[in-house]
């Protein structure tokens, strides 16, 4: 059985096209005479799968803005997560993003964080993984329940690696999370914090020059607190998984669609199994890349090569 | 002079009708690989060989007028554009297929039936490997008690995500494969809030030019919640997954038979959850849905289906059967816009 699965994976890899990246192989030119086709026909790199960071940065003089949304995870509530990344040089980026966590409402909560991601400047070699380190400083996310307010924050240190094997790209890493929850009410309130080591893995399979199948699975901090029966909150690891497609409509515009699995979500019972597919959700999102350096050069002649 | 004039008129009398006729089949010499190399390694000669470098097929070098005009040979008509491949539809009649919509193709299907049901399905292909859609389905039903007659829960709004592999992608003969997930928004009526979700794996295999087989397995889940507390003995909330995997997993299949160039006979079997509000043991059961009918290709982008649907074949109640009609549109405008954007 295992050999059959391996053979199927290898066949899939060989059948898929090797080039899953943007069609051009160079960054958008920062020249005053660059055409729009040159500006937006260049190479754009994403620094994430769906929510997992990868060992890449968006690149110098570029901005990436992405997010995804679901109306299905908790009925009637639009859950969303977004990320804004600004490249600095070829190996660093500053970012503001909603890091993955599971809130006390049992949804995949967008807990905001600001951070920096550094790509280890090693030459790319066949069968040699690339590495990146990301630090995300958690910004408290506040929820109010009457007079009670609940602040959740997650600060992360990521170490991720990427290995390209033809059409297949493997990603793996670990996330050291310091999660904190503060409950403030008329009384003394409650507080809990915990440090967690959370593994995460992902894979990409380039199916065409514009589309990739993406799978990721990992653990995320999960907050537990019931505002109706206040007690000391708890923090546990919770599982998240996504399987979907990233489709580059254009080198600078990507559409994401995926189905997601979360161990416990809104309305779920205390212990749910993967067979509870009624708790899974479908997420739709995208990512757009802006070559701001090239645009500024073309418009006013600054940041030119 | 008169002889020359007569000879010219005679030639014109022969040549003009000939020019008005389709070209007769003139035997051409076999194209030699050295003189007309083909970029393709295929040994078959191209159906439209390049005329310029080819050896003279007729006594054309003569400047004298020829009964066969030389212009058509020197300027052949441009080859017709290659026909777009036929788009496999994502559903048979009720059950999903292993086909995926091509990138940026928009699919819409609207249907109605004799019991007053209205349904609609809108999808878009994502990158040739996935599709996303939203739909209003009228197939989900509920009944007050086990003895009561079922009634339709509509409109039931759901979203669909499906991804997969085209036929012959991994190896020759590989069926088209798709993994799909459909989940509804919460539907609240009569004090009950219900949801459904399904995960399916389906394969589609074409046999020859006229037969298409579809088969797979579906893993259903659903929930019913007493939204206003008037449970009448039933559980406040019931999940299908609480009753075991055996009650969630079902097989399904379909058959397409192209009887004419523009018409297919279709049969399929699928499963749909049915809710029972006051049942005390299980409030959710899967019911087998059998459909058969005909799909008529009005154009390449418009299909018209009509047939019969039996919502619960175990009940063997033909009075419950519905005659339905549905029309499908395939829109290529977004595809053209994406191509233009690139």
Q: Under the phi-then-psi rule, with left for phi > 0, alpha for psi from -120 to 50, and beta for the rest, what region is A61? A: left
A214 forms beta bridges with A204, A244
Asked whether residue B154 is assigned to any structural domain, the reply reads yes
Query: Percent of chain B, pLDDT > 90?
Result: 53
Q: Residue B196: how many CB atoms within 10 A of its CB? A: 27
Whole-angstrom Cα distance, residue B69 to residue B85?
37
Query: What range defines the domain where residue B283 resides?
Result: 106-341
pLDDT at site A25: 64
Task: Say whether residue A211 is in contact with chain B using an 8 A CB cutoff.
Answer: yes
Select from A162, A202, A214, A200 the least CA-distant residue to A20: A214
CB-CB contact of A221 with A102 (8 Å): yes
pLDDT at site B84: 67
Asked whether residue B261 is assigned to any structural domain, the reply reads yes
In degrees to the nearest 10, what's the CA dihedral of B224, B227, B228, B234? Answer: 20
pTM of structure: 0.78
Asked whether residue B60 is assigned to any structural domain, the reply reads no
Task: Say whether residue A75 is in contact with chain B using an 8 A CB cutoff.
Answer: yes
Strands of B81-236, DSSP E: 106-113, 118-126, 130-137, 141-143, 151-152, 156-165, 176-184, 187-189, 192-207, 211-226
Q: List residues of B whose CB lies inside 8 A of any A CB.
A: 103-104, 126-130, 132, 159-161, 163, 165, 169-171, 181, 183, 185-186, 195-199, 219-223, 239-241, 245, 248, 338, 341-342
pLDDT tens sequence across A223-241: 888 877 777 888 888 888 8
- Is there a contact between B197 and A15 if contact means CB atoms under 8 Å apart? no
Residue B112 corresponds to which tokens in the numbers above? 């109605």
Measuring CA to CA, how many Å separate A118 from each of A123, A159, A243, A252, B211?
15, 10, 26, 22, 55
pLDDT at site B229: 62
CB-CB contact of A230 with A183 (8 Å): yes
Residue B202 DSSP SS3? strand
- Is there a contact between B161 and A276 if contact means CB atoms under 8 Å apart? no
pLDDT at site B319: 85
Residues of A in contact with B239 (CB under 8 A): 269, 276, 278
Whole-angstrom Cα distance, residue B185 to residue B201?
22
Query: Percent of chain A, pLDDT > 90?
Result: 30
Query: Percent of chain A, pLDDT > 70?
Result: 82
Whole-angstrom Cα distance, residue A201 to residue A180?
24
pLDDT tens sequence across B45-100: 334 443 434 443 444 444 444 444 444 455 666 666 666 668 899 999 999 999 99
- Is there a contact between B342 and A250 if contact means CB atoms under 8 Å apart? yes
Domains present along chain A, CATH in parentheses: 2-300 (2.40.160.40)
A-B contacts (CB, under 8 Å)? 108
pLDDT tens sequence across A42-94: 778 898 898 888 998 998 899 999 988 887 766 556 677 788 899 888 889 99
Residue A53 corresponds to which tokens in the numbers above? 């960071």
Residue B237's CATH number = 2.40.160.40
Query: What's the gap in Å between the CA of A258 and the closest CA on chain B?
Result: 7
- Is there a contact between A75 and B170 if contact means CB atoms under 8 Å apart? no
- Is there a contact between A245 and B129 if contact means CB atoms under 8 Å apart? yes
Residue of A nearest to B247 (CA): A275
Confidence band (pLDDT; 50, 70, 90) for A102? low
Residue A99 has pLDDT above 90, yes or no: no
Asked whether residue B337 is assigned to any structural domain, the reply reads yes
Identify which has the larger pLDDT, A258 or A145. Answer: A258
Residue A36 DSSP SS3? helix
pLDDT tens sequence across A180-195: 988 887 777 888 999 9
CB-CB contact of A202 with A52 (8 Å): yes
B189 forms beta bridges with B192
Q: To 5 degrees, how large is the angle CA B288–CA B290–CA B294?
A: 160
Structural domain total, chain B: 1
Strands of chain B, DSSP E: 106-113, 118-126, 130-137, 141-143, 151-152, 156-165, 176-184, 187-189, 192-207, 211-226, 237-239, 249-260, 263-276, 284-297, 302-310, 322-331
ipTM of the complex: 0.80
Segment holding B337, helix H or strand E = helix B333-341
Interface of A with B in 259-288 (CB under 8 A): 259, 267, 269, 272-273, 275-282, 284
Arithmetic mean of pLDDT, A192-210: 92
CB-CB contact of A293 with A303 (8 Å): yes
Q: Residue B4: how many CB atoms within 10 A of its CB? A: 8
CB-CB contact of A162 with A129 (8 Å): yes
CB-CB contact of A179 with A193 (8 Å): yes
Asked whether residue B118 is assigned to any structural domain, the reply reads yes
Residue B314 has pLDDT above 50, yes or no: yes
Residues of A in contact with B223 (CB under 8 A): 267, 278
Asked whether residue B304 is assigned to any structural domain, the reply reads yes
- Is there a contact between A210 and B103 if contact means CB atoms under 8 Å apart? yes
Confidence band (pLDDT; 50, 70, 90) for B340? confident
Contacts of residues B73-79 at CB distance under 8 Å and 24 or more positions apart, as own/partner, are B76/B48, B76/B51, B79/B48
Whole-angstrom Cα distance, residue A113 to residue A180?
13
Task: Say whether residue A10 is in contact with chain B using an 8 A CB cutoff.
Answer: no
- Is there a contact between A278 and B199 if contact means CB atoms under 8 Å apart? no
pLDDT at site B282: 83
Whole-angstrom Cα distance, residue A43 to residue A57?
12
């Amino acid at each position: 059985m295992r050999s059959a699965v391996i053979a199927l994976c290898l066949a899939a890899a060989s059948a898929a096209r090797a080039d899953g990246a943007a069609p051009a192989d160079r960054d958008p030119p920062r020249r005053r005479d660059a055409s729009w086709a040159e500006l937006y026909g260049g190479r754009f790199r994403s620094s994430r799968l769906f929510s997992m960071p990868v060992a890449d940065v968006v690149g110098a003089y570029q901005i990436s803005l992405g997010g995804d949304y679901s109306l299905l995870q908790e009925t009637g509530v639009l859950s969303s997560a977004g990320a804004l990344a600004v490249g600095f040089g070829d190996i660093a980026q500053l970012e503001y993003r909603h890091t993955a966590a599971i809130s006390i409402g049992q949804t995949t909560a967008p807990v905001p964080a600001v951070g920096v991601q550094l790509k280890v400047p090693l030459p790319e070699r066949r069968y040699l993984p690339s590495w990146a380190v990301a630090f995300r400083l958690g910004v408290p996310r506040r929820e109010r329940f009457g007079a009670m307010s609940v602040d959740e924050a997650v600060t992360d240190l990521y170490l991720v690696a990427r290995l390209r094997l033809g059409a297949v790209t493997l990603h793996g890493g670990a996330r050291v999370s310091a999660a904190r929850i503060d409950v403030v009410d008329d009384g003394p309130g409650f507080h809990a914090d915990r440090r967690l080591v959370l593994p995460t893995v992902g894979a990409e399979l380039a199916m065409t020059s514009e589309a990739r199948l993406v799978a990721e699975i990992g653990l995320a901090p999960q907050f537990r607190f019931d505002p109706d029966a206040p007690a000391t909150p708890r923090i546990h690891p919770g599982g998240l998984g996504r399987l979907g497609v990233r489709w580059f409509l254009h080198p600078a515009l990507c559409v994401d669609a995926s189905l997601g699995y979360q161990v416990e979500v809104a309305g779920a019972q205390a212990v749910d199994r993967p067979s509870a597919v009624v708790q899974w959700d479908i997420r739709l999102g995208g990512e757009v890349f802006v070559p701001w350096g090239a645009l500024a050069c073309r418009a006013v002649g600054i940041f030119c090569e | 002079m008169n002889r020359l004039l007569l000879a010219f008129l005679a030639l014109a009398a022969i040549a003009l009708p000939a020019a008005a006729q389709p070209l007769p089949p003139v035997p051409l010499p076999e194209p030699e690989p050295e003189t007309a190399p083909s970029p393709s390694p295929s040994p078959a000669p191209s159906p439209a060989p390049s005329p310029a470098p080819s050896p003279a097929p007729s006594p054309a070098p003569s400047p004298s007028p020829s009964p066969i005009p030389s212009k058509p040979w020197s300027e052949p008509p441009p080859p017709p554009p290659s026909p777009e491949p036929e788009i496999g539809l994502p559903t048979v009649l009720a059950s999903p297929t292993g086909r995926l919509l091509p990138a940026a193709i928009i699919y819409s299907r609207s249907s109605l039936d004799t019991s007053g049901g209205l349904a609609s399905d809108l999808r878009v292909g994502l990158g040739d490997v996935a599709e996303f859609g939203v739909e209003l389905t009228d197939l989900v039903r509920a009944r007050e008690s086990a003895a009561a007659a079922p009634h339709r829960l509509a409109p039931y709004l759901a979203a669909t995500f499906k991804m997969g592999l085209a036929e012959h992608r991994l190896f020759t003969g590989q069926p088209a494969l798709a993994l799909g997930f459909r989940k509804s928004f919460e539907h609240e009526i009569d004090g009950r809030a219900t949801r459904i979700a399904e995960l399916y794996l389906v394969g589609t295999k074409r046999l020859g030019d006229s037969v298409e087989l579809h088969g797979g397995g579906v893993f259903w889940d659903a929930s019913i919640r007493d939204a206003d507390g008037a449970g009448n003995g039933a559980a406040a909330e019931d999940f299908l997954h609480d009753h075991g995997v055996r009650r969630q997993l079902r097989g399904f299949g379909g058959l397409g038979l192209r009887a004419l160039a523009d018409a297919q006979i279709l049969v399929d079997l699928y499963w749909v959850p049915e809710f029972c509000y006051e049942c005390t043991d299980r409030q959710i059961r899967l019911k087998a849905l059998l459909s058969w009918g005909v799909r008529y290709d009005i154009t390449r982008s418009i299909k018209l289906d009509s047939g019969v649907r039996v919502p619960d074949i175990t009940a063997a109640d033909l009075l419950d059967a519905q005659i339905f009609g549905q029309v499908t549109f395939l829109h290529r405008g977004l595809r053209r816009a994406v191509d233009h954007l690139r």
